[in-house]
Chain A
Amino acid sequence: MKQKIRIYHLYPDAMNLYGDLGNIITLVKRCQWRDILAEVINVHIDDKTDFSDADLVFLGGGQDRGQRTIAQDLSNRKEVIKKEIDKGMVALTICGGFQLFGQYFQTAEGDRIPGIEIFDAYTLAGKKRLIGNVIVDIAHTSTEWQTELNFPTFESAHTTLVGFENHSGQTILGPKCKPLGYVIRGFGNKGDGGYEGGVYKNAFGTYLHGSLLPKNPWLADHLILMALFRRYGSVQKLQALDDTIEINAHNAATIRSKTAKTVSI
């Protein structure tokens, strides 16, 4: 029988700011090329949605208006999403999505916009916008992502992520949230070049656009594997794909991030 995963794309209209759709395209194609069916279900405000049947949820970044619009609807779904994440549902959240999956966002005026508390993390409005190419080292952090499987989900050679950040919020992690990785080049969560993103169980948060997954296929495959594991309870290694073009783009972005300027305005 053909295997499948079910992807819930949360608020694809309000929350698709910087090519976030590229992440969905990548998940779908990399499944298709392996004869795995990837169903994508778009979730809008007020939609009735059963998260117990979702293997992977994706939430991109939005403009302030988009984020304000969906914040209430998302908080209505807080308990169900939390419950499923604790049961192994995979999540990828980018930028504004990452912030909303944290505890709260504190505006410059001191108001707190509540998040859904998946990540033990909070975000403070920053004065500067942090913009530029990023390289993140995941060599150490990623060893903790695959404890349930008896094989590594990606090769040790693939231990960086590349992308592009553009945020003013500064996200501080608490003890129950591990960073996604450590910044080699770029600003990262707090703008200090320290750590980047956040991980709780199979939920990932990051500021990396680019789009993130096309140039980091090992992370895409890790998410697909964990989604299959969530659905079937056991999983085989994924069939290898020819990733020459992906790796070339990853390497070119790495080189570019060393020559292109980053700005904070």
Chain B
Amino acid sequence: MRKFLAVLVARIVRKTSRATGQGSGSTLPGLLAEKIDPNIISKLARKFPKGIVLITGTNGKTTTAKMLAAILNKAGHKVVYNFAGSNLSRGISSLLTEHANFWGTKIKGQMGIFEVDEATLPEIAAKIPPRYILVTNLFRDQLDRYGELDKTAAIIGSALQASPNAQILLNADDPLVASLVKYNKNVKYFGIEDKISTKSKRAIDSKDCLKCGHELKYSPRYFGHLGIYKCSKCNFVRPKPQYFLSDLKLEIGSSEACFNRKDEKQKISVQIPGLYNIYNALAAASIASEVDIPINQISYALNNVSAAFGRMEKIPVGNKNIFILLVKNPTGFTQGIETLSYDRKLKNLLMILNDNFADGTDISWIWDVEAEIIKDIIGSVIVSGIRAEDLLLRLKYAEFNLNKITLEKDLAKALDRGLGNIKDGETLYILPTYTAMLEIRRLLKNRGLVKGLME
């Protein structure tokens, strides 16, 4: 009875709030539904025939969820998945009530796919409970908000421990993620087995052995602290993955690889560039394999996925192009720059550094970005945002040619200048922090270049 009432109230509130234009109806219905029936999430979550997968980790949650949804959709399974920004409990209850039938006895979907912030994972996992939990990677991100990386790992670990029936999927190439097996033994791994290695010189986040503190040796290192590692002293070693990619071919516009599982292999290609997006494709393909999607369907679907909001997103502006590459942390930033340097053409950049709460208020991390990688192929750079001066200073110490850099605090002017710097057919690469990306998006929307603020 409570469940019925919760679903009904949520439905009414959603309709009213959308009809009156008061809001998108993405959290209030869920908030009320949970007030009426505190167990509403678990009651509805149980209705998915293929269960629920929770995707967490620092980078790649949104893109992995999007890719997995695309694979399942192409295979004919309807899915329910949350969008960035509504990954708190009330966002999930909103979404579930929206997709429930009138009586709350059925859910319109085969599988639920939810990206969940590391910090809220224990709460959500306790409410749902999930059939699968996947951890993409752990990088330093907005440290001032979550504390330290080891603590984040421990938080995720507590959720894994409290989910004994879930199948856990872990990134074998990330030592901190792989070590989460100590919390729950029901683990399968995914990883990359290839010879490619990074131009970057630093594995900044987790280079010391988690068991004994000695240095981890990588051969090769793909990016950040991701790679095939083993401890120089003790027996800590990268686990062998059940799902892996081989034969990687990375280009500035797309990537190719071979996806391997059990006795099968299949070429996949992804139109969203960057090594980390190939990791996202691997993560999505691994879960899809868990729910028995044929390997050729996985490949077909992945080929047609476009970038998630601001993640390597390409937007045409007249005869020119804008390419938006969200940067949230040193490893993501360094990887983004490395992707731009896959070819040696001169690049025109607009870099925007904000220090609002959602960006992380501490900007020290820009000193861990290996900006040096791209300094020799710079056509022009505009620096903007609340901390534009700090960004300029970082580029000075990376020995960029200062004559090619302009500081423009006003973002609208910076965007105009950036587009003015390029000719028809050329691309302006925009590297914004999170709130800067929202501002850019608003500017583009006001100019009629993109439709919504969110996807």
Contact = CB atoms under 8 A, between A and B. Distances in A.
Contacts of A246: 393
A249 B389 contact: yes
Interface string A28-52: 0100000000000000110000000
B148 A64 contact: yes
Contact of B150 (A63, A131, A209): A63
Nearest to A13: B207
B393 A215 contact: yes
A15 B386 CA distance: 28
Given A245-B393, A253-B390, A256-B386, A19 B150 contact: no
Contacts of B394: 22, 214
A252 B387 contact: yes
B150 A64 contact: yes
Contacts of A164: 361-364
B213 A69 contact: yes
A129 B364 contact: no
B445 interface: no
Interface string B365-389: 1111000000000000000001111
A88 to B, nearest CB: 27
B215 A249 contact: no
B208 A14 contact: yes
A210 interface: yes
A191 interface: no
A63 B208 contact: no
B389 A252 contact: yes
Nearest to A44: B215
A25 B387 CA distance: 20
B391 to A, nearest CB: 9
A195 to B, nearest CB: 22
Nearest to A16: B204
A217 B390 CA distance: 13
A66 interface: yes
Contact of B397 (A18, A25, A166, A248): A25
A70 B215 CA distance: 12
Contacts of A245: 389, 392-393, 396, 402
A215 B389 CA distance: 10
A245 B399 CA distance: 13
A261 B361 CA distance: 9
Interface in A163-182: 164, 166
A64 B208 CA distance: 13
A151 to B, nearest CB: 27
A26 interface: yes
Contacts of B387: 252-253, 256
B355 interface: yes
B144 A131 contact: yes
A20 B207 CA distance: 15
Contact of B147 (A18, A129, A253): A129
A65 interface: yes
Contact of A25 (B147, B213, B367, B386): B367
B143 interface: yes
A26 B397 contact: yes
A249 B386 contact: no
Nearest to B409: A252
B215 A256 contact: no
B411 to A, nearest CB: 16
Interface in A204-218: 209-211, 214-215
Contacts of B361: 131-133, 164, 260-261
A22 B390 contact: no
Contacts of A69: 208, 213
A252 B368 contact: no
B372 to A, nearest CB: 10
A184 interface: no
A138 interface: no
Nearest to B392: A245
A65 B365 CA distance: 20
Nearest to B212: A69
A17 interface: yes
A21 interface: yes
Contacts of B362: 18, 131, 164, 166, 209
Given A29-B397, A63-B149, A211 B208 contact: no
Interface string B126-155: 000000000000001001100111100000
A254 to B, nearest CB: 11
Given A21-B367, A63-B149, A65-B150, A45 B213 contact: yes
A20 B362 CA distance: 13
Contacts of A44: 215
Interface string B340-377: 00000000000000010000011111111000000000
A209 B452 CA distance: 38
Interface string A123-145: 00000010111000000000000
Contacts of B388: 252
Contacts of B355: 256, 260
Interface string A230-251: 0000000000000001101101
Given A14-B208, A248-B389, A21 B368 contact: yes
Nearest to A165: B362
A245 B215 CA distance: 37
Given A19-B365, A69-B213, A215 B147 contact: no
Contacts of A260: 355, 361
A211 B364 contact: yes
Given A63-B150, A131-B144, A131-B361, A13 B393 contact: no
Nearest to B330: A19
Contacts of B140: 17
B429 to A, nearest CB: 22
B234 to A, nearest CB: 13
B35 interface: no
Contacts of B147: 129
A63 B153 CA distance: 13
Q: Tell me which of B207, B214, B367, B402 has the highest count of chain A C-beta atoms within 10 A of its own C-beta.
A: B367
Task: Report, nearest first, the 4 A-B pairs whose CB atoms are least far apart.
Answer: A22-B367, A19-B364, A69-B213, A19-B367
11 contacts: A13-B208, A16-B368, A17-B143, A19-B365, A21-B367, A68-B213, A69-B213, A211-B364, A245-B389, A248-B393, A256-B387
Given A17-B143, A66-B208, 19 more contacts: A14-B208, A18-B362, A19-B365, A19-B366, A19-B367, A20-B367, A21-B367, A25-B367, A45-B213, A45-B214, A63-B148, A133-B361, A166-B143, A166-B362, A214-B367, A245-B402, A249-B389, A253-B387, A260-B355
